[in-house]
Amino acid sequence: MSGKICRLLVLFFLLPNIILAESGEKLWLRYLPLDNAKVVDYTNAIRSLVVAGDDAVISAAAEEIQMAFNGLTGNDLRNVNRPGAGALLIGTPENRLIRDLELSSELEKCGEEGYIIRTFPVRNGQMTVIAANTSAGVLYGTFDLIRRMQTGESISKLEVNESPAFKIRVLNHWDNLNGTVERGYAGHSIWFNRPEDWSVRSAQYKYYARANASVGINGTVINNVNADPNVLTAEYIEKYARIADIFRPYNMKIYMSVNFASPAVIGGLENSDPFNPAVQQWWKDKAAEIYQSIPDFGGFLVKANSEGQPGPMDYGRTHKDGANMMAKALQPHNGIVMWRAFVYEPGDDERSVQAYNEFMPFDGEFEDNVIVQVKNGPVDFMPRESFSPLFGGMQKSPVMIEFQITQEYLGHSNHLAYLSTMWKEVLDAETFAKGVGSSVAKTTDGTLFNHELTAISAVSNIGRDINWTGHHFGQSNWYAFGRLAWDYDLLSEDIAEEWVKMTFVHDQKFVEPVVDIMMRSREAVVNYMNPLGLHHIMGWDHHFGPEPWTDIPGAREDWLPRYYHNASEFGIGFDRTTNGSNLVSQYHSPLNKIYNDPLLVPENLLLWFHHLPWNYRLQNGLKLWDAMVYKYYEGVEEARLFQNRWDRLEGYIDDRRFKEIQYKLKLQTTEAIWWRDACVLYFQTYSNLPIPAELERPVHDLDELKELKFDMKHHN
């Protein structure tokens, strides 16, 4: 064979890999060509586009469908003025073409951001219509249609009615003005302290806005809740305004985390006391200044009197006083205040009961544009907690949930943990606030307590890594949050399947095992880190590796793992019963009784609510010690299974992403074994009981693990 032919052959075999190598930067909006049968179906249904409207949002929708259709089918949609066979008509009743369809009674049910998609018979065929009351609805409807094509669904007979469960659906970035990201594991901030030109950044912000709009996220708080007062200076307001301009066509509002002490720190006032008229005026002026540059600014997110942040209590005032003062400043501009209830101070009360104790007295006393933002659990973002009793507890003031997408306590961006299952567990949890049927979701979406203002948020996992989220599967959590914020009745499995098809390939031989891995992944992490309701066993500062032994003389007791697992020769677990910290009493009946009784409490929250002896018998007949050890081992077996399964999927997707994920899954198994061995060996020093004989022996010894520094800051 001549050298030339040889080189050509080598090129030929390399080519597919070169072409297909993907970085993950396109997220789930790849718009790559579909197989021929689908292309034929879709071009039969749609060949031209009629845009009934001309504002920036409808134009963004039109641009998106053009781009998607071209990418997916290889054909352009012809822009035409009149609907007919093969047309896709998008618009609002402001336009006669939509009014003529007489959809008003159906549109009424869509609300502000919902939409309908319909197939209408017309002469010589049929046309497809996306109609909504606002152009925002049209945009969301357009992304719905695109998703159907991306996942290979039929679009020839559509009858879709959609409206979002929550009015405000926001991401919270914990990005600092110096470009670092608190609890971020995907590189530096995409917002602050960036060296690149605006053209590069703005292109990325547009992509970000499209991705969010594609799942219905309509707002974002781009700076850390531990807020730098300087974010309120003219320099940053100007930066926010430029970003807001890019978001606007995608119906995304920008919000800001603010520091309660700003009037004193950057305003030169004597104090930041909410009762000081000069302070009140300062916030009013500041709000007016912001709205001057950003007319659709969303509002403020505030972390006050929490973990050292300033707040109204510094002046003997209350959360209510602080929140209402800011709310009044924003009212003339229709802005809102998201006031966080993540509070805990050293004192007599145990941490899990504090938020409820601190906020319940103000139920019903907040201004109408205040919403209380509550983490899903009463302590922090543990792999599993009971839901916060403020859901269903606070009834007169609106409450919103805060989830965490970034995996602060779930293996950072090293571990695959699909979190939709966790969020559904919380959203679906029964609070019994108004009897059966009072799920956490319903206590926050306005249905149960009739609130106008409804919202949901989650702490983002996005950074400057090429694939946005560090771990390719981290993208699935961003995606799933948006989908659930729109419709919490969706099944985690279906969301996973959509995402896998859009992000990778349609081949069921790939999709099925991957969805299965995703569906099992969160429980696997719970098992090798914190089974049976254990929590806070990680290193106290980095929150990454296992450190059940950590004991720092002089450190706050409730920062240390030993305080939470409370292991001793007598047993393990945190007593939150009526004999203990009494968290149980903050729940409605019958949950208070169920949680109070070790025989009734769900097994996965056993040690969250109870301190029990090592030889306590579980319902399944196992001794507590054995049950716990089995769980740790089960977690590791699951991680191994994920790794083996993935290894067998080589060739289905591009090599680059395949190998990057393969590497992470290997790391996950290694780290799962650390967790298992560290916890089992350490707790064994108290239980004095053997590891069941049929289980493999620990790979590490305890001293070696204690020496290992689990501080994984270099993953940052």
> Which residues bind to ligand BDP, rule: CB under 6 A?
182-183, 225-226, 303, 307, 342, 380-381, 408
Angle at 383 between CA 382 and CA 387, to 5 degrees: 65
Identity of the residue, 309 or 596, whose beta carbon is nearer to ligand BDP in the bound complex: 309
Identity of the residue, 385 or 408, whose beta carbon is nearer to ligand BDP in the bound complex: 408
Place of tokens 């469960």: 165
Minimum CB distance to ligand BDP, residue 315 (Å) = 21
CA distance from start to end of the chain:
50
DSSP tag of 250: G
> Distance (Å, rounded) from C-alpha 224 to C-alpha 259?
10
Identity of the residue, 267 or 561, whose beta carbon is nearer to ligand BDP in the bound complex: 561
Q: At residue 481, what is the residue type?
A: F
Annotated active-site positions, please? 307, 380, 408
Minimum CB distance to ligand BDP, residue 639 (Å) = 24
Minimum CB distance to ligand BDP, residue 381 (Å) = 6
Minimum CB distance to ligand BDP, residue 660 (Å) = 27
451: nearest Cα among 367, 513, 528, 538: 367
Structural contact between residues 536 and 564, judged by C-beta atoms closer than 8 angstroms:
yes
Angle at 455 between CA 449 and CA 458, to 5 degrees: 135
Identity of the residue, 417 or 502, whose beta carbon is nearer to ligand BDP in the bound complex: 417
Place of tokens 């020769």: 569
> Distance (Å, rounded) from C-alpha 253 to C-alpha 218?
6
Minimum CB distance to ligand BDP, residue 98 (Å) = 44
- Residue 268 has phi, psi (to 5 degrees) of 70, 15
> Distance (Å, rounded) from C-alpha 354 to C-alpha 275?
25
User: Residue 100 half-sphere exposure, CB side, CA atoms within 13 Å?
Assistant: 9
Identity of the residue, 73 or 406, whose beta carbon is nearer to ligand BDP in the bound complex: 406
Minimum CB distance to ligand BDP, residue 191 (Å) = 17
> Distance (Å, rounded) from C-alpha 352 to C-alpha 591?
16
Minimum CB distance to ligand BDP, residue 545 (Å) = 15
Identity of the residue, 102 or 307, whose beta carbon is nearer to ligand BDP in the bound complex: 307
Residue with smallest beta-carbon separation from ligand BDP: 380
> Distance (Å, rounded) from C-alpha 66 to C-alpha 70?
6
Structural contact between residues 571 and 683, judged by C-beta atoms closer than 8 angstroms:
no
Identity of the residue, 53 or 377, whose beta carbon is nearer to ligand BDP in the bound complex: 377
DSSP strands (E only) in 575-654: 612-613
679: nearest Cα among 531, 548, 526, 523: 548
Minimum CB distance to ligand BDP, residue 442 (Å) = 25
> How far is C-alpha 116 from the geometric centre of its chain's CA atoms?
26
Place of tokens 């970085």: 23
Local structure of 203: helix, strand or coil: helix
Identity of the residue, 342 or 391, whose beta carbon is nearer to ligand BDP in the bound complex: 342
